Structure 1
Amino acid sequence: MGEHVIKLPDVGEGVAEAELVEWHVKVGDIVREDTVLAAVMTDKATVEIPSPVDGQILWLGAEIGDTVAIGSPIVRLKVAGEGNATPRSGDEGEAVAAEAPARLPTPKPEAVAPTARTSPKAGATDVKPAAAVSKNVQQPSVSGAPRPEGEKPLASPAVRLRARDAGIDLRQVGGSGPAGRISHEDIEAYLARGPQVAKTSGLARNDTVEDIKVVGLRRKIAEKMTLSKSRIPHITYVEEIDVTALEELRAALNKEKRADKGGAERPKLTLLPFLMRAMVKAIADQPNLNSLFDDEAGIIHQHGGIHIGIAAQTPSGLVVPVVKHAEARDIWDCGAEVIRLAEAAKSGTATRDELSGSTITITSLGAMGGVATTPVINHPEVAIIGVNKMMVRPVWDGTQFIPRKMMNLSSSFDHRVIDGWNAAVFIQRIKTLLETPALIFVD
C-alpha cells in the first residue's frame, strides 16, 4: 500500500488561489476514481475537485473558508501500489488517526453548511478516535440539562445543522468529545434514548450564540457590497410607472405561438425584456449611464456595448449573470437569453464570462419586490435599476378613480458621475417607454 497526494489543480481563468467552500468526504472514507472530493470557488464560479484514483482518505489539508494556492496538497489517500508520495509519520499521522465525527450526506444547496474535519494540530494524540467516541456517550440527567445554565454547547456546524433539522436543543445533549464537544454519535444516542429532561411550561430563555463563518459566495457578496457602499455615494430615485398597457401587450404577445428566425419557438416574455429594451433606448440619449468608473485612476470608461447584469437569487446566494450586447438583441432574444442565464445561475453551471462584464444592472425581487427599495450599485458601474412589486392601485384620471396596474422603479446612481437631474431624466425616459410600449418597437 502507498499514499497518493492530490494537489489543488489549475482551475483555469489564470487564478493563483481558490477558496475551499465544501468538503464532500471525511477522513476514513473510501472513494473511487472521479468521486467528487471538494468544491472550491474562484470569483463567483464554483469548481468541483474529483479524485483521480481509488483509495481511502487519510488527511484533509484545509478548512472550509481557507484560501488555498494552486498546487498545494489538499488530500492524501491510501492507495493500492506505491502511490505518488512517501507515507507521513509523526504529528500528521497522529492527527489523521483522530478522525472527525461522521458527517451528514451533503444537504441541498440552500442548506449547505461547512462540515467538520480534523486538521493537523499539536497534541492531536490526546483526542479519542471517533470509533471510540460512541462507547462513552454521556447520559444527561433526568433532572435537567447536562451542562450548567448559560454554558454554550460545543458542536461543529454539521452537528448543529442536524440537531436543528431534528428539532433538538443541543443544551440537552451530553457531549462525549474533548471539553464536552457534541458529535453525531451523541445526537444518535439522544434520538435513540429520547429526551429525558423534564419539560417546563411557558416561555424559556434562549441564550445560545452560534458562530457561522462567512465563506464562499456569501463572503464574495459581503466583500462586493462593502466595496460598493464604502466607495460609491449613492443617490436613489423612485418613480411610479403605469404598466397596464405594457401588461396587456405582453399577454397578447405571449398568446402568439410564433417561431423566431431560427425556427425555435419564441420564449414567454416577462417584464424584464421590455425594461431592457427601454434601457437601451434611454442609454442612447444618455450614454454616460452605461459606464464603469475607475475611481483609483479617476477615469470613466463609457461603453458602447450595453451589457446588462440581471441580479438573480440562487440557492447559494446572489449572482449577476450578464446579457451581453443588449443593444443588438430584439425583445425575444433578450427574453431567451435571460431565461438561459437564469437557469445556468440556479444550477451552478454559469461560467465566469457569463457572470462578469456588466456595464449596468437590473435588480428585481419579483412578487417580493416591495413598494420601494434602495438598491446597491454593482461596483464599478454607475447605475442600477430596481424593479418593485406590481400592484393594482386606484388612479385618478381627472373624473374618477380607475384601477391600474402600477409598479415603482427604485434606481440608484453614482452621484460622483450622475447628477440628480440626469438620473431623473433617465428614469422619466424609461417611464415614457414602458407606459407607451409601442415606442419600444420603434427604431
Structure 2
Amino acid sequence: MSTYKFNLPDIGEGIAEAEIVKWHVKVGDVVAEDDQLADVMTDKATVEMEAPVSGKIIAIAGEEGDIIAIGSMLVEIEVAGDVDLEELEASGKDSDSADKAEADDVESDQDIEIKEKIDADTAGPAVQKKSEEASVPQAVETDVKPSGDGMPKPLATPAVRKRAADLGVDLSEVKAQGDHIRHSDLDAYLNYGSGQGYRPSGTSQKRDDEVIKVIGMRRKIAQNMAESKRNIPHFSYVDEIDMTELEDMRADLNENRGDRPKLTMLPLLIVAICKSLPQYPMLNAIYDDEAGIVTRHGSVHLGMATQTAQGLMVPVLRDAQDLNVWQLATEIGRLAAAARNGSAKPAELSGSTLTLTSLGPLGGIATTPVINRPEVAIIGPNKIVERPMIIDGEIQARKLMNLSISCDHRVVDGYDAASYVQALKHFLETPVLLFAD
C-alpha cells in the first residue's frame, strides 16, 4: 500500500494558479484510472483533471471556489498493489490530461412536477380506488350545513376549501358570484376584498433565503465587471436609427439565400460597424493602463457578448472586416454554439478589440453596456420596434431601433463617439452602401 500525490500540472500560457470550480470526488471515494477528479478554471479555460492511477481518495486540496497554485497537491490517492510511482511521474501522464479544455458541467434544467392535490375527505380510504375517484368531478356541497357558530356553512368544492384552509382564509368572508364559492371568488377576495390591500393569488409559498458561493465563471464575470467600472470612466451615447430599408433588404436576401444560412440583423450590423470604423480608429483600440499606451488596431477582432448557462462569455470574430454577410452568419453561429456547449478554444475567447452586445428579442429601449476591458468601446443595438414617424409631412410606420455605445472617456471624446454613431447610422439607413466598395 502506497500513496500518490497528484499535483496540479502546468496548464500552460504562464498560468500560476487555478480555481477549483467542481469536485467529482470526495475523501473516501474509490476511483479508477482516468476517472474525473475535478474541474479547474484559469483565465483561459476550464480544464478537466483525471486520475492518473486507481485507488482511494485520502485527501483533496480544498473546497469548490478555492484557488490553488500550479504544482501544489490537488488530491492524494492511496494506491493498492505494486505501482511504480516514480515511473508514473516520469511518464508525465499527470500532465497529459491537463491538455483537455472542457466546458463546466452544465446542470440540466430540472422539470417542475405539478402534482394534483386531492382532498383527503373525497379521495377515499382505499388506495386502489384513487385513480378512479380522481377522474370523477368533485361534487359541490349543496346542503347548507350550520357552522360551529350556527351560521350557514358557505358552499364550496373540497378543492376550494382546502386551498382556503392552506391560505388561512375564512370562507364565510368570501363573496360568491354564483351559488357556491369558486376559485375565482377566492382570487378576488385575496386580491381586493381581504382588507389588506393587494395580495398575489395562488398558493405559492415564500422561498427560503439562499447563500450561494460565487465561484467559477460567475466570479470571473464579477471580477471583470468590477475592474472595468472601477478603472474606466464610462460614458454612453444613444441614437435612433431607421432600420426599415435594411430590414427589407434582409428579407430579400433571405428569400434568395439558397443553401446559405438565414441572415439575422447581426451580420449586416457588423458589416456596417467595420465599414464605419476606419475613420474612427480611436474606437477599435486597447488601452494599457499601466504602460499608458493606446494601441489602435487595423483589424477588427469583434467580441460578441453571448449568454451561456455558465454566464456571459465573449467569443471573438477575428478579422471581421474581411468577411461577407454569409461568412459572418456562419461564423457567428459556430462561435455562439461553441461558447454555449463549452467547446470554444481559449484563443476564441480572447484578443477582441471591440465588443458588440445585444439582448436579442428582449431588446429594451436603450442600454448602457459595460466596456470589455481593456477595450475602449462597446456597441449595443436594441430592439427594432415599428413606430410612427413623420416623413415629408406625412405619418408613416417605420421600423426604428435605438443604438447605444459606451466609451472610455480617457481615450474617446463624446464628440468622436457621437460622430461615429452618425457614420454607422448612415450605413444602416442606406444599406446599399454595405455592398459598395
User: What is the TM-score with the length of structure 2 in the denominator?
Assistant: 0.71
Distance 1:199 1:24 in 2: 41
Cα displacement string for residues 154-187 of structure 1 (whole angstroms, at most 9, x for unaligned residues): xxxxxxxx9x9899xxxxxxxxxxxxxxxxxxxx
Match of residue 235 from structure 2: 235
Letter matched to residue 18 of structure 1 = A
1:329 correspondence with 2:326:
no
Aligned-residue offset at 1:419 = 1.2
Match of residue 121 from structure 1: none
1:303 correspondence with 2:297:
yes
Letter matched to residue 201 of structure 1 = G
Aligned-residue offset at 1:239 = 1.0
1:369 correspondence with 2:336:
no
Match of residue 15 from structure 1: 15
Aligned-residue offset at 1:32 = 2.5
Q: Which structure has the greater CA radius of gyration?
A: 2
Distance 2:355 2:239 in 1: 17
Identity score, percent: 52
Match of residue 109 from structure 1: 106
Change (3 A) 1:80 1:166: farther
Cα displacement string for residues 207-253 of structure 1 (whole angstroms, at most 9, x for unaligned residues): 95433221111111111111111111111111111112112211222
1:222 correspondence with 2:222:
yes
Match of residue 390 from structure 2: 396
Match of residue 279 from structure 1: 273
Distance 2:415 2:409 in 1: 11
- 5 Å-filtered alignment, 1:65-144, equals 65-83=65-83, 109=106
1:412 correspondence with 2:406:
yes
Letter matched to residue 394 of structure 2 = Q
Match of residue 100 from structure 1: none
Letter matched to residue 109 of structure 1 = V
Count of paired positions: 337
Paired residues of 1:25 and 1:37 also in contact (CA < 8 A): yes
Change (3 A) 1:306 1:355: same
1:201 correspondence with 2:198:
no
Aligned-residue offset at 1:14 = 2.5
Match of residue 152 from structure 1: none
Change (3 A) 1:232 1:84: farther
Match of residue 313 from structure 2: 319
Letter matched to residue 40 of structure 1 = V
Change (3 A) 1:403 1:110: farther
Distance 2:84 2:224 in 1: 41
Aligned-residue offset at 1:44 = 4.5
Letter matched to residue 338 of structure 2 = A
Q: Which runs of 5+ in 2 are unaligned?
A: 87-103, 115-164, 170-198
Give the RMSD, CA atoms, in angstroms. Answer: 2.7
Paired residues of 1:3 and 1:83 also in contact (CA < 8 A): no
Aligned-residue offset at 1:411 = 1.0
Aligned-residue offset at 1:423 = 0.6
Match of residue 349 from structure 1: 343
Letter matched to residue 41 of structure 2 = M
Match of residue 141 from structure 2: none
User: What is the TM-score with the length of structure 1 in the denominator?
Assistant: 0.70
Helix, strand or coil: the match of 2:305? strand
Match of residue 39 from structure 1: 39
Distance 1:298 1:58 in 2: 50
Aligned-residue offset at 1:268 = 2.1
Cα displacement string for residues 70-129 of structure 1 (whole angstroms, at most 9, x for unaligned residues): 12211222333145779xxxxxxxxxxxxxxxxxxxx962579xxxxxxxxxxxxxxxxx
* Equivalent position to 2:434, from 407, 429, 440: 440
Cα displacement string for residues 283-314 of structure 1 (whole angstroms, at most 9, x for unaligned residues): 11111211111222222111111111000010
Letter matched to residue 54 of structure 1 = S
Change (3 A) 1:234 1:214: same
Distance 2:306 2:400 in 1: 23
Aligned-residue offset at 1:11 = 1.9
Aligned-residue offset at 1:401 = 2.4
Match of residue 98 from structure 1: none
Q: Which runs of 5+ in 1 are unaligned?
A: 87-106, 113-161, 168-197, 259-264
Cα displacement string for residues 306-333 of structure 1 (whole angstroms, at most 9, x for unaligned residues): 1110000100000111111112222222
Aligned-residue offset at 1:350 = 1.0
Cα displacement string for residues 20-53 of structure 1 (whole angstroms, at most 9, x for unaligned residues): 1011222333333222221111115111111223
Distance 1:225 1:84 in 2: 48
Which piece of structure 1 moves more, 309-318 or 266-275? 266-275
Letter matched to residue 168 of structure 2 = S
Aligned-residue offset at 1:64 = 0.7
Cα displacement string for residues 247-266 of structure 1 (whole angstroms, at most 9, x for unaligned residues): 221122222244xxxxxx53
Paired residues of 1:110 and 1:316 also in contact (CA < 8 A): no
Aligned-residue offset at 1:2 = 3.4
- 5 Å-filtered alignment, 1:258-297, equals 258=258, 265-297=259-291
Aligned-residue offset at 1:439 = 0.4
Aligned-residue offset at 1:4 = 2.9
Helix, strand or coil: the match of 2:282? helix
Distance 2:77 2:166 in 1: 48
Helix, strand or coil: the match of 1:277? helix
Letter matched to residue 308 of structure 2 = T
Paired residues of 1:4 and 1:83 also in contact (CA < 8 A): no
Distance 2:354 2:294 in 1: 14
Distance 1:84 1:401 in 2: 84
Aligned-residue offset at 1:199 = 6.5
Letter matched to residue 45 of structure 1 = A
Distance 2:84 2:212 in 1: 37
